[in-house]
Structure 1
Amino acid sequence: MKKKTTRNKWLVFALLLLGFTTTQAQTEYRLTVKDAVDLALKNVADLKNLRIDSAKQEAQNKEIVGSALPQVSGSAQVAHYLTLPKVLFPSAGRTDIYTVLNQEGVKDGSGNTIAAKQEFSVQEFSFVQPWNVTAGVSLNQLLFQPDVFVGLIARKTSIAYATENIKIQEDKTREQVQKAYYQVLIAEQQLEVLQVSLQRFQKLLSDQEQLFKNGFIEKLDIDKTTVSFNNTKSTETQLKNMIELGYAALKFSMGLSQGDKIVLTEKLSTQTVKENILDDGSFNYNNRGEVRLLNTVQKLQELDVKRHRLGYLPTLAFFYQFQQQGMLNKNFSAFTGQNWFWFNSNLVGLNLSVPIFDGMQRKYKIQQAKYTLDKTTNTLDNVKKAIDLEKTSAQINLRNAILNMDAQQKNLELAERVYNTTKKKYEQGVGSSFEVLQADTELQRAQGNYFDALYNAVVARINYFKAIGQLN
């Protein structure tokens, strides 16, 4: 029995430790909408990858610069001939001697011409030494090469391209986070109002039970109120589930773990939605990241056309080579007093490569690059027209959303007055519970319509500032 008690204690301790560890791993964030956006810009994986791409582009730019700097390389070789390569030389033997005697008219003792004996031989000889050591260093400096020249010019433009990609993704992240944030925030405000309605129902049910005990109302009145209370309770449960799902979506859009806790601290009202929405007519297409990105693409493609055109120019490079060679032949030591013989060589020059005819390949590459540039120009023009449509649509939608929000706010205020008046009449005995329930139902409907209109107005505001390129 004592062992079992000890085991239970250890089990409780382990569970407490696990709970403490889980609590410690959870991070709590208290966030305004700006805080949420800033946190997302640091954590979102797509943005992290784009920043890595930007760093990679900088490394590629440095690689291009490196190709224009002097290139130095060294080499060394040690070789030993197991069998020396040889060449053949005619041997200066007896056949050659007799040939010379005949040409000079020399006779033998009998007065006859000396007959040459037909003998021919060759002698093997090698110019290579058994051991050979070679070491050298070479330097090459590119003076002009078209693709490297254009690559050096395009460095800033390529970095600008990577930067604009990051900014476009940042705008998308701002839009996603703000919409997710306000969706949860408005849902929480709606939940607070709904819980007030539940409190009203509980108070009404409590009052009705007393009235029923005193015989002033029927059981039917309590049943009607109970049905409305249960329906509101069900709506509360659905809204809580929606808020939980909204928090999960918000965490994902911010790049946070689902185990983290978020507390929203932003304050939202109809006046907040209406702030800074007046159009001063200062819209500039370059406020939109898509336009800036396409402008950068245009510059890169113009440089690509230039690169192909410069391909007709020659490539010029300077080079220098130094080499030292050593040969070993121990057989020479008896004559020279040394085994090794060393020789140096230096070489300097220019290497010029001139393209003469490439089968018209470069001409058609230039045409293809121009066609690609023309497509980008057409795309840019179409994007500007789409932005005009988006901006006009966003302005109209925002205007309508604000009008609807104001109307729903007035309806909510009116529904609250109707409910309060109906409730007072019921408490004074000149109204029915049915009228109270009906007024409460209309009040809940007005509240729901108001929060829907508020969220739609917030979304319209976000879309409007995105359309004009000023979403912060």
Structure 2
Amino acid sequence: MKIFLKYSAAIILMIGGSHKAIAADPLVLSREQCVEIALRDNPTVRIADMEVKKYDYSKKEVLASLFPSIDFSAAYQRSIELQTIRMNMGGESQNLKMGSDNTWNMGFTASMPLIAPSLWKSISISDEQIVASLESARASKLDLVNNINKAYYSLLLAIDSKDVVKQNYDIAVLNADVYAKRLATGTASEYDVLRSSVQVKNIEPELLQADIAVRQCQLQLKVLMGISTDVEIRPNVTLSDMQRNIYSYPASADRSISDNSSLRSLDIQKRILSKNVDLKKMAWIPTLGASFNLSWLSLSNGSPFKNQMFNPYSTVGLQLSVPIFSGGSKYYGLKQAQVQLKEIDLQRQNLVESLNMQVELAIDNINKEARQIESSAEGMRQAEKAHDIMQKSFDIGAATYLDLRDSELANTTAKLSYLQAIYNYLVSMSELDLLLGKGVK
């Protein structure tokens, strides 16, 4: 709770323009808190949620077709020349004009499907489309969680690597000071002083690059979380702290791919195609609809706005539509849907085999990286011990500066290899969780 209070305070201060206050009080976040903020504020997640709403509205649109459709219409017609008919009456031919100058017609029409199998099946397909959109939103969240994890681990690696480079830089500065003092007492040559000073200058670009890497990782994490780039964030752990939770992947652990988002999406798509086959079959079933009409008709001569007398009339009816022949379009449409259903069965089989292979490879990498961490940790301890021995030997003049620099380089390389091994393990675990569909309900 305190973390989110700090987050809210930081945002308010940022809006008010108090940048210094934000910089003085950075957000210290765990990986889980970063994921929680991202799932709430990242635009990608909000877009996925809007897609779910869109398909929900689409289903309601189809459901609306089951209800009566009511329309109102009005029409006016003015006769320019009335129709004339010739009649023979009493041996004499007479011309009669038929119709009226003005014709008004207005009324309501209503229609409603009573038996509409295709419409009913379309509603069922709409339900599956909503499920598909929910799974798509879940897939977006899984990808986001994986990206947040990797960005968080990258930030940890950048910070810890910067600390290692900074330690190497401090040692180089210390050694340069030692040589400067020895030069003053005549126990060191000017060449030794210059060489140690050059070594300090050589490390400065590495330190600058490490600082840039930290800033880039922070920016990437903030963008994924959907928060302002002006807000400073810091992790609450280091890579070394996370080693306590690192172990080989148990052989008895769950390796099921049933929650894999791609597989679940394919299963949903298969259900949609199966119902689409049923929908194609429904095209041969007759449909029945009801209709109702209530109208008013007025006929008059002269002015269209005088002497109007509207006479109501109404009708009710049923309409039966029986498909008989359509040139084979329904038949070939059904065959096409059945082929698509068979295709997706083969796609699923191929996907299952591919996912199982990826899971096995990921677990092998995790186990290999866990062993690599143990090996790197032992190598780091030995490098630190060798450097301490060489530093003491250098202090008493029993070792050369070149020997000391070799031990420092070996120590720095061992520490960076150790950090990289932890990072690789954590990223591999995150990728495995993505494959298994873990991390998002």
Question: Smaller-chain TM-score range?
Answer: 0.7 to 0.9
Aligned-partner Cα distance in 2 for 1:167–1:79? 59
Deviations 1:422-466 (A, max 9, x none): 212222343333322221121111122112212212212212222
Name whichever of 44-53 and 447-456 sits farther off.
44-53
Match of 2:272 in 1: 300
Task: Give deviations 1:72-110, integer Å, cap 9, x for gaps.
Answer: 112222333343333222243xxx3xxxxxxxxxxxxxx
> By how many angstroms is 1:211 displaced?
1.8
Structure 2 CA distance for partners of 1:222 and 1:273, relative to 1, 3 Å: farther
Alpha carbons 2:75, 2:106 under 8 Å: kept:
yes
Deviates more, 1:251-260 or 1:219-228: 251-260
Does residue 19 of structure 2 align to residue 23 of structure 1?
A: yes
Q: Which residue, 318, 333, 336 being the options, matches 1:365?
A: 333
2:19 is matched by which residue type in structure 1? Answer: T
Q: What's the counterpart of residue 462 of structure 1? A: 430
1:408 equivalent to 2:376? Answer yes
After superposition, the C-alpha distances for 1:36-88 in whole angstroms (9 at most, x for unaligned) are 22233334443333222221111110110011111111222233334333322
Partner of 1:61: 59
- The answer to whether the 8 A contact 1:190-1:451 is kept is yes
Matches of 2:384 and 2:302, distance apart in 1: 116
Q: State the one-letter code of the partner of 2:182.
A: L
Establish whether residue 148 from structure 1 lines up as the match of residue 119 from structure 2. yes
Name the structure 1 match of 2:103: 132
- The structural deviation recorded for 1:304 is 0.5
Counting only pairs closer than 5 Å after superposition, residues 154-303 of structure 1 correspond to structure 2 as 154-268=125-239, 269-274=241-246, 277-303=249-275
Shift, 1:393, TM fit = 0.3
- Deviation sequence 1:187-246 (CA, Å, 0-9, x none): 111111221222222222222222221122222332332233222222112222222332
TM-score by length of 2: 0.88
Tell me how far apart the structure 1 counterparts of residues 256 and 418 of structure 2 sit (CA, whole Å): 35
CA RMSD of aligned residues (A): 2.7
Give SS of 1:158's match: helix
Check whether the contact 2:294–2:313 (CA below 8 A) recurs between aligned residues. Answer: yes
**Aligned pairs (5 A) from 1:323-362:** 323-329=295-301, 339-362=307-330
Q: Is the 8 A contact 1:191 1:240 kept in 2?
A: yes
Aligned equivalents of 1:354, 1:29: Cα separation in 2: 69
In the alignment, is the contact (CA less than 8 A) between 1:143 and 1:316 conserved in 2? yes
- Report the more deviating stretch, 51-60 or 361-370: 51-60
Report the secondary structure of 1:208's partner residue.
helix
Instruction: Find the aligned partners of 1:196 and 1:363 in 2 and give their Cα distance.
Output: 76
**Larger CA Rg, structure 1 vs 2:** 1
Quote the residue 1:310 is aligned against. 282
Q: Deviations over 1:88-137 (max 9, x none)?
A: 22243xxx3xxxxxxxxxxxxxxxxxxxxxxxx53222342223322221
Distance in 2, Cα, partners of 1:398 & 1:196: 30
Kept in 2: contact 1:190–1:448 (CA 8 A): yes
**Match for residue 113 of structure 1?**
none
For residues 419-434 of structure 1, what are the structure 2 equivalents within 5 Å? 419-434=387-402
Equivalents in 2 of 1:24, 1:437: separation in Å?
41
Looking at structure 2, the residues matched to 271 and 150 of structure 1 have their Cα atoms a distance apart, in angstroms, of 54
Contact 1:77 1:134 in 2 (8 A): yes
Cα gap change, 1:58/1:340 in structure 2, threshold over 3 Å: closer, same or farther? same
Q: Distance in 2 between matches of 1:199 and 1:396?
A: 39
Change (3 A) 1:339 1:252: closer
C-alpha contact 1:426 1:432 (8 A) present in aligned 2: yes
Deviation of 1:281 (Å):
4.1
In 2, Cα distance between equivalents of 1:141 and 1:419: 88
8 Å CA contact 2:158–2:210 kept in 1: the answer is yes
Q: Counterparts of 1:73 and 1:245 in 2: how far apart (Å)? A: 61
With 413-422 and 390-399 compared, the bigger mean Cα shift is at: 413-422
Deviations, residues 337-372 of structure 1 (Å, cap 9, x unaligned): x94444332211110000001111111111100111
Deviation, 1:285, is 2.6
> Which digits, 9 at most, give the CA deviation of each residue in 1:360-407, with x for residues without a partner?
111111110011111111111111111101110000000111111111
Q: Decide which of 63, 70, 73 is 2:71's aligned counterpart.
A: 73
Q: Which moved more, 1:45-54 or 1:297-306?
A: 45-54
Mark the runs of 5 or more structure 1 residues left unpaired by the alignment.
1-18, 97-120, 332-337
Relative to structure 1, the CA distance from residue 330 to residue 241 in structure 2 (aligned partners, 3 Å threshold; closer, same or farther) is: closer
1:33 corresponds to 2:31: yes
SS in 1 for 2:377: helix
Map of 2:87 onto structure 1: 89
Identity %: 18
Q: Provide the rounded CA distance (Å) in 1 between the counterparts of 2:322 and 2:39.
A: 51
Structure 1 distance, partners of 2:27, 2:118, is 51
- Is the contact between residue 401 and residue 457 of structure 1 (CA under 8 Å) also seen in structure 2? yes
Greater Cα shift, 438-447 or 239-248: 239-248
Letter in 1 for 2:97: S
Q: How many Å separate the matches in 1 of 2:324 and 2:392?
A: 101
Distance in structure 2 (CA, Å) of the matches to 1:465 and 1:419: 39
Q: State the alpha-carbon separation in 2 of the partners of residues 49 and 140 from structure 1.
A: 37
Compare 222-231 and 414-423 and name the one that shifted more: 222-231
Distance in 1 (CA, whole Å) between partners of 2:256 and 2:55 is 28
**1:42 corresponds to:** 40
